[in-house]
Every structure is written in structure tokens, then in C-alpha cells.
Amino acid sequence: MSRLTVAGPVPLRGRVRVPGDKSISHRALLLAGLARGTSRVTGLSGGQDVAHTRAAVAALGARVDEDGPGTVTVTGATPVAPAAVVDVGNSGTGLRLLMGVCAGVAGTTRFDGDASLRRRPMDRVAVPLRRMGATVEGDGDTCRAPLSVAGGALRGIDYELPVPSAQVKGAVLLAGLAADGETVVRERLVTRAHTEELLADFGADVEVDAGERLVRLRPGPLTATDVSVPGDPSQAAFWLVAASIVPGSDVTVEQVYLGPARNGFLDVLQRMGADLEVDRGTGDVRARHAALVGTDVAPEEIPGLVDEVPALAVAAAFAEGSTRFLGAGELRVKESDRIATVASELGALGARVEPSSDALVVVGGGGLRPGVVDSHGDHRIAMAGAVAAVAADGATTIEGWDVVATSYPGFEDDLAALTRS
């Protein structure tokens, strides 16, 4: 198991470009694999999660050619269930979306992943896919991997998401491409809209009713198109938080995706008093050190910033007053139980953190002391630990550091560049 040791406090200065958005990368590859013709996708995330999805697209029959770092051409094909098990690694997003695709594929597709993925519930996807006519079998009551999806004659359904999840919404819509009749997905709380936006780009008959919080899809073929993947805001959050909490810092993250469903963490940081400059034309976001104050993050905000909570919790440790993340139960079924792991690892660095079943309270004002952080096999806990380390007074070690390759293999190099500028 690898480790990273960082001696803080050390200011961060300079410009950085984060990997392509992971959520968009998964969906662009899958839709390109289903589309008629050849699509060119640039700016792809270089992390292991997206690499597994890329391999899965090829296993289903599409041709995927690399044209350089972060760039592929994908020639779509009618998908065929592969004989071999599809390994999705640590990617819950990849698995859930692939389940939707394979619900419309004749034959049985088998999936598996690493130990962390095998703990994550897939019943939230299995339930609507079964209603559409697919056969989904997995381990235990929550349909964990290893699992299989047997496609068949699907029918469109009208489905209300029981919990806010862009992944479940995406899986149902992808299955709807092969269904007989219209598929409607209704949301109680707005989630990321990447699937429906990209479906429109690929020529799908898709309609979004923002007022009713629903997406309506009619089946039909997709047409190849080129996709440029912008920078991942969930990765940008780590640098923006680090710059906000370390005196003397001045960091600009370039070409970040700033769509409305992904701006939530910026809103929270600005409420906390962060010194941010946002250029919506270029996607550049600049952050400088500022005195932060605590805030409440409401349940309706959580779906739009669920991946940024570990970074925001580090910011909260340096803010005056308490920061409450409310209605955040979804954090418990990520790569780790992030309510538990944020509480334990920030607690190990001296923060006062109060977890509950679906909430997390960070009592700030005391900053953090150096220590040891366990990543728990969760890339975002590892990177949050690195952000905490640059602000702590002394040397902090993050155990299980290699997990950052899941989404941001160049994080350590970027950290070194920003701290020596």
C-alpha cells in the first residue's frame, strides 16, 4: 500500500488543469459506442474508472481507438453481450450506467469489480430495469456485484426516483433507448443532467421539463457526434478549498465545467466567505486565501455536490462556527461510507466532527493538526487528506494513496507544482 507525506502549512500558487469530468467521460463513451458512425471524444478523464468503461464499450462491440492523451475515436455498433465478465474496477457510476445499456442487449452480460465496488448497492438500478423487462441478478438483498443483466424486450416506464441519483436516472434513460414506448424519469430533487444533455447531443428524442422535474425519452437510434469533455468540478474543489484555507495561496483552476447542476460547491464556498473569481466564459475559477465561516448545506443541495463534501468538510474545519451537511445519507453508499470516513479521518487530525445517520456536522475554528489519514480505499478521502495536509502545521501521511489513480492519477504531480510555485 502506498502513502504520501506532506509537510504543511505550505501555500499553493499557480494555474492547474484538472482531468476531464468523470461523469461526462463515462456517458460520452457509452453513447458514442451506441451511436451510428464515428465520434471523437477529447478531454477524457485519465483515471482508472473511465478506463474500465472504455474497455467495457469495446467489449460490447464498439471500436475504440486512442488518438493521444485523453482523446479517442469511437465507432459505434449494435452491442452484443460479451462472453467474458466485464470488470468495472471501482466504478459504481460505470456499472450503473452499463446496467442500463445492457438491459437492452440480447443475452446475459456479467459484471464484477473490486472489493469496494462489491459493497455498493445496485438494487436502486435493478428495480426499474426489472420493471422495464430486464432480468437482473446480484448478490444479497441489495443486488451487489458480482451481478448479471439479461436483456430482453424492454417496455418504457414512468419512474419516480426514490432517492436523488443521476446514475439511476442515466441507467433508466439508457435502457429507454431500446424500449418499446416512451420512458419518463421523475425527480424529487434535481440531479446532474449529463445523461439527458448528451443524449440530445447524440440526436436522441429527449425532452426535459425543468418545472415538473422530469425527463421524457422516446426510443430511437443515436447519431455520432464529437464531444469535448470539460474539467471536472469535483476535482477542482480540492484545489479551490486548499487555496481558501492556506494563507498566501492563489490558485486558478482552468476550464472547469460550470453547468448549473454542478455549481453547488461554489455556492457553498462563497457562502462561507471564500475569495473566488469565476469566469463563466472560459471556465476558469480563481481562489485566494480567505477567512471562512460555517454554513448549512441543505438536503436539496446535496445531490449537486455529493462528491465535493469531503473537500468542503476540510474547509469547514478551518471556518468559524459549525457547518452542517444535512440530508446527506447518500454519502454512506459511495466508495466508502463517507459520513463515517470523513468523521474518522478529520477527527484523527483534531477536527470536531459529529456524524449521524444522514448528516455530518463539522465544528470549525480550530484548524487541523498533523497526523495520519487512512484513505479507506476512497480516492476522494485520499485527496481530502492531502488538502488537509497542506494546511496542517507539520507532516501528515495519507495511507492508501494509490487509490487516487481511480480519478486523478496526476494529483501528486499537480500538488508538487502548485506548492513549489
Distances (CA, A) of 300 to 195, 267, 293, 357: 20, 13, 21, 17
- Tell me the DSSP string of 324-385: EE-S-GGGGGSSS-HHHHHHHHHHHTT-EEEE-SS-EEEE-SS-----EEE-TT-HHHHHHH
d(CA 18, CA 16): 6
For residues 195 and 174, the answer to whether their CB atoms sit within 8 Å is yes
Secondary structure of 114-158 in the HEC alphabet? CCCHHHCCCHHHHHHHHHHCCEEEEECCCCEEEEEEEECCCECCE
Cis peptide before 247 (omega within 30 of 0): no
CB count within 10 Å of CB 17 equals: 17
**C-alpha to C-alpha distances, 89 to 48, 92, 225, 381, 405, nearest whole angstrom:** 8, 9, 28, 18, 12
Interatomic CA distance for residues 316 and 320, integer angstroms: 8
307 labelled catalytic: yes
Amino acid of residue 114 = D
Share of the chain residues as helix, strand and coil, in percent rounded to the nearest 5: 35, 25, 35
Q: To 10 degrees, the CA torsion angle through 208, 19, 247, 417?
A: -170
Whole-number Å distance between alpha carbons of 106 and 75: 20
The single-letter DSSP state of residue 229 is P
Cis amide linkage into residue 9, ω under 30° from 0: yes
C-alpha–C-alpha distance, residues 325 and 309, integer Å: 8
List 21, 114, 232, 307, catalytic entry: 307
- Three-state DSSP at 213 gives coil
C-alpha distances out from residue 203 to 170, 171, 217, Å:
16, 18, 11
Residues labelled catalytic:
307
